[in-house]
Amino acid sequence: MAYNILIVEDDQRIASVVRFHLERESYTCHHAADGDTGLAMALDLKPDLVVLDVMLPGKSGFDVCQGIRKSDGPQPAILMLTARVEEVDAVMGLTFGADDYVRKPFGVKELVARVRSLLQRRDVRGAAPAGTNPAASPVATEPAGDEGIVTPEPIVRPPLRIDPGRREVTVHNDVIELTPTEFDLLYFMARRPGRVFTREELLDHVWGYDHAGYARTIDSHIARVRRKVAEADGPKDVIQTVFRVGYRYRDDPGE
């Protein structure tokens, strides 16, 4: 079964080009031309991924992103499209819960690669549906079982428990809601506690492709992970900043 993708874009030409190339990858695509319709379709269709323009009639892309993240049930990956040149606008989208962003004008190959990478990280088994040009998942590195299903062991460092099989994080046994990218980032670092990673290394390992120039993406995702863990009475700095170098997962997150 192909993944379902919702394209929320008011420029019909751009929407048609994006849809054409994604459907060539065997994805099932839907389209909304304004923010209000886009949010309604996202909540109704529950797509696997939303390609979301920032500048929309009605609700802005930021409003739609925030509305999706506040909803119950399975959360889609969100890839934002922005024509704005200021870095702060792209970072704002990440703050509202987007997983990645692409600046207009963009290359179709780049957009398809980012869509593919986000969708592959949503698949617990680390394998994309037929017809989607599968590649190795950056986090599914453990050996497969007899049925070819990746079944890594949960990481338990009280009060946190990170279960990659269920893609679930609990703090004091309470589940916290993370986006697919937030989960992958936390899991990747938690498997290597104490090791310091540069932003470039995290972009390469977690996003799984060349993401040069988007280092602020890491800062926004880590800030959201820290906030969600802290709001659940977990440690405020489960991921620590190493000045002028990067980040590391605490050796002792319970302290």
Distance CA 96, CA 50 (A): 14
Query: Does residue 159 lie in a domain region?
Result: yes
Q: Is 248 exposed, middle or buried (0-12, 13-18, 19+ CB in 10 A)?
A: middle
Please check whether residue 255 lies inside any domain of the structure: no
Count the domains in the chain. Answer: 2
CATH code, 233: 1.10.10.10
User: Quick one: three-class SS letters along the chain?
Assistant: CCCEEEEECCCHHHHHHHHHHHHHCCCEEEEECCHHHHHHHHHHHCCCEEEEECCCCCCCHHHHHHHHHCCCCCCCEEEEEECCCCHHHHHHHHHCCCCEEEECCCCHHHHHHHHHHHHHHHCCCCCCCCCCCCCCCCCCCCCECCCCCECCCCEEECCEEEECCCCEEEECCEEECCCHHHHHHHHHHHCCCCCCEEHHHHHHHHHCCCCCCCHHHHHHHHHHHHHHHHHCCCCCCCEEEECCCEEEECCCCCC
Confirm whether 135 is domain-assigned.
no
Range of the domain at 192: 155-249
Q: Do 12 and 117 fall into the same domain?
A: yes
The pLDDT score that the predictor gives to residue 124 is 42
Query: Domain for residue 127, yes or no?
Result: no
**Does residue 141 belong to any structural domain of this protein?**
no
Q: What is the CATH number of the domain that holds 47?
A: 3.40.50.2300
pTM of the predicted model as reported, rounded to 2 decimal places: 0.64
Out of 122, 147, 172, a domain closes at 122
pLDDT for 209 equals: 57
Instruction: Based on the fold, state whether residues 183 and 233 are members of the same structural domain.
Output: yes
Tens of pLDDT, residue by residue, the chain (255 residues): 589 999 999 999 999 999 999 999 999 999 999 999 999 999 999 999 999 998 899 999 999 999 999 898 788 999 998 875 555 556 677 778 888 888 888 889 989 998 998 888 766 433 333 333 333 333 333 434 444 444 578 999 889 999 988 889 999 999 998 888 889 899 989 989 999 999 888 887 787 655 555 667 788 889 989 999 999 999 988 999 999 899 999 877 655
Same domain, yes or no: 116 and 169: no
